A and B are shown apart, each in its own frame.
Chain A
Amino acid sequence: GQQVMQIPQYQHVQEGEDFTTYCNSSTTLSNIQWYKQRPGGHPVFLIQLVKSGEVKKQKRLTFQFGEAKKNSSLHITATQTTDVGTYFCAGPHGGSQGNLIFGKGTKLSVKP
């Protein structure tokens, strides 16, 4: 079946270091979304990428969608303690718009 894989599962960084999480889909995606879940919280939408090769930035966060629309990455420059949480990528399930299949997430911890 369709799979969305995400690596690494955990990442521990020193505050100020950069962080990247990678997402790979077994199928071509019409779009990819990224969510952040703070400890004890719920997933919160960050961004959606739609176009092949698309790059979007939100302050220190850079999101990229691969040319083949099967992979994506989230890069955080100069991490801060407020970046702590689990980052999930998600793609449409079975091509159905609206039904999302999530990657297993990357848990980021930041040491001050």
Chain B
Amino acid sequence: DTAVSQTPKYLVTQMGNDKSIKCEQNLGHDTMYWYKQDSKKFLKIMFSYNNKELIINETVPNRFSPKSPDKAHLNLHINSLELGDSAVYFCASSQLGRNTEAFFGQGTRLTVV
């Protein structure tokens, strides 16, 4: 039933490792996003995909690579993890048009040690 689901919910890993976070939406939306929320709760957009095409990339290090196999999925792969990558990562989706309400996943709390 979950509209936007992301896994895992928690991820603890060592510096230098590579990890992936998966996201799926069953709302039929054509746009998906990744947001990073730091310890101060600031929500910053990282990527936006519309119909499988990247449409924005907000100065995110190229260690972060989004992959969208289809419009219902937007995964986030992170190479060579750094301490500063520790944050909560939210996946979201919306439908382009007049009503652009975004639906968020439950979040993935990434801790790099």
Residues of chain A at the chain B interface (Cβ within 8 Å): 31, 33, 35, 37, 41-45, 48, 50, 86, 88, 90, 92-94, 96-102, 104-105, 107
Contact = CB atoms under 8 A, between A and B. Distances in A.
A101 B45 contact: yes
Interface of B: 31, 33, 35, 40-45, 48, 50, 55-56, 90, 92, 94-107
A98 B100 contact: yes
Which of B43, B45, B56, B96 is most buried by chain A, counting CB atoms within 10 A of its CB?
Answer: B43
Nearest to A39: B41
Given A93-B45, A97-B97, A99-B48, A42 B104 contact: yes
13 contacts: A42-B104, A42-B107, A43-B102, A45-B103, A48-B100, A97-B96, A97-B98, A98-B48, A98-B94, A99-B33, A100-B94, A100-B102, A102-B43
A71 to B, nearest CB: 19
A98 B96 contact: yes
B90 A100 contact: no
Which of A37, A50, A100 is most buried by chain B, counting CB atoms within 10 A of its CB?
Answer: A100
A33 B97 CA distance: 14
A41 B37 CA distance: 12
Contacts of B33: 99-100
Contact of A105 (B35, B43, B94): B43
